[in-house]
Amino acid sequence: MPGIVLVGAQWGDEGKGKATDLLSGRVDYVVKFNGGNNAGHTVVIGDKKYALHLLPSGILSPGVVPVIANGAVIDIEVLFSELEALSARGIDVSRLRVSANAHIITPYHRTIDRVGERFLGKRQIGTTGRGIGPTYADKINRVGIRVQDLFDEGILRQKVEGALEQKNHLLVKVYNRRSISVDEVVDELLTFADRLQPMVTDASLELNRALDQGRTVLFEGGQATMLDVDHGTYPFVTSSNATSGGAATGSGVAPTRFDRIIAVVKAYTTRVGAGPFPTEQSNASGEYLRSKGFEFGTTTGRPRRTGWYDAPIARYAQRINGVTDFVLTKLDVLTGLERIPVCVAYDVDGVRSDEVPVSQSDFHHAQPIYREFPGWDEDISGARSFADLPMSAQEYVLALEAMSGAPISVIGVGPARDAVVVRRDLLG
């Protein structure tokens, strides 16, 4: 079972880092194929907690080769500071491979992200301010800087010059900021070149060869389906393809090599930043989920918006990604609730819609139609088999499974590495 894709089903923070970590002992490569240090994955191993942003979660497992592939965007300063922080905690980071084709986040991308957001006023997206959108915009505009450019100073200078020509007009005349000189950008990027060079590779070639040799490769998505630039709640999305198709374009490994597509989904829903969220609870229930689930951003520390499970979204994620298995996380957070509402369909201006409406305006108006399930009081964090769960927790999971379009193969019952109920082997 060599090619496995793992993505988020909702608006991010479903627990992808923990799910990757769960599989890492049995995979050879973990590949980050989209996004950059906008991601925040918390992984708990024993009494140690790790927060990963740019690095694939697989870096924590000694047998894994972590790869940052072409579809990701790299802030090199952040890359080295994350590597140093992990090294200082005794993690061997020497195996990291970086695609020569990945794009680089430069200081001007960060500035434009932050100032651009301010200029949007009420239409703000609430980005992480890490320069993600402007870097992908330059990639599509064909004025981006790639990892390989760092090893040819002449080319690098030409490209930075080309990129800054327009941007300095924007920064100075529209945003009222100081202009950025070609030299300061080039000099900063070159300071990292020698350290980066040994990690740089043709990641597509390396990964395809690994698959040819029967190795197992896990493609770990950042962000999630509803934040995907094509399939999410545009424009309130990130700027990359976080869905399973992005694993192919973002790594140079063809879709025919993917054997299993895993989507991680929370037993309720959260979202960071602006945009529609039909099941959001801006009330005591939402506060309960936030405090019990500790729903604060790993990257920006912002409180996450919280709400109930949305089955049409899970079904949508199943369809867009071709999900073969769900990992349902944070079931333990629901313990103690008397009744648990689940959105089964929407009322859109008086008309029932069983699917996520294609029109963004309709989705903004969509009122959830809820079905309520009985809760449970028993502590489930020690459950290790499905039968260990109280009957109403079992019924809740089975109902979600029936509504969501693919088997729920793993259930998370706590943050720790072993706090899971495995119903079906994800790699078997």
Asked whether 21 and 57 are in contact (CB, 8 A), the reply is yes
Q: Which of residues 5-24 bind ligand GDP (CB under 6 A)?
A: 8, 12-18
Q: Which is nearer to Mg ion, 40 or 293 (CB)?
A: 40
Quote the distance between the C-alpha of residue 284 and its chain's center.
28
Q: Give 304's DSSP letter.
A: P
Among 314, 415, 421, 426, binds ligand GDP (CB under 6 A): 415
Asked whether 18 and 107 are in contact (CB, 8 A), the reply is no
Question: In the bound complex, what is the minimum distance in angstroms from residue 52's beta carbon to Mg ion?
Answer: 9
Q: Which residues contact 24 (CB under 8 A, 6 or more apart)?
A: 30, 57, 58, 60, 61, 63, 64, 218
The pair phi, psi for residue 211, each rounded to 5°, is: -65, -40
Determine which one of 21, 41, 149, 325 is catalytic.
41
The pair phi, psi for residue 138, each rounded to 5°, is: -65, -35
Question: In the bound complex, what is the minimum distance in angstroms from residue 90's beta carbon to ligand GDP?
Answer: 20
Question: In the bound complex, what is the minimum distance in angstroms from residue 297's beta carbon to ligand GDP?
Answer: 7
Alpha carbon separation from 158 to 165, 183, 302 (Å, rounded): 11, 11, 39
Structure tokens at 261: 């597509």
Residue nearest to ligand GDP (CB): 412
Distance CA 50, CA 57 (A): 9
Residue type, 333: V
Q: Which is nearer to ligand IMO, 135 or 324 (CB)?
A: 135
Distance CA 16, CA 79 (A): 20
Question: In the bound complex, what is the minimum distance in angstroms from residue 55's beta carbon to ligand GDP?
Answer: 12
Q: Which is nearer to Mg ion, 8 or 278 (CB)?
A: 8
Is 212 catalytic? The answer is no
Structure tokens at 404: 């969501």
Is 41 catalytic? The answer is yes
Distance CA 200, CA 98 (A): 5
Q: Which of residues 106-125 bind ligand IMO (CB under 6 A)?
A: 125
Residue 274 three-state SS = coil
Q: Which is nearer to ligand IMO, 236 or 396 (CB)?
A: 236
The answer to whether residue 276 forms part of the interface with ligand IMO (CB under 6 A) is: no
Structure tokens at 423: 């119903």
Q: Which of residues 32-61 bind ligand IMO (CB under 6 A)?
A: 38-41
Structure tokens at 101: 């084709």
Size of the site for ligand IMO (CB under 6 A): 23
Question: In the bound complex, what is the minimum distance in angstroms from residue 113's beta carbon to ligand IMO?
Answer: 7
Among 2, 56, 58, 133, binds ligand IMO (CB under 6 A): 133
Determine which one of 13, 138, 149, 325 is catalytic.
13
Q: Which residues are catalytic?
A: 13, 41
Interacting residue ranges for ligand GDP, rule: CB under 6 A: 8, 12-18, 40-42, 44, 298, 329-330, 332-333, 412-415
Interacting residue ranges for ligand IMO, rule: CB under 6 A: 8, 11-13, 38-41, 125-128, 130, 132-133, 222-224, 227, 238-239, 272-273
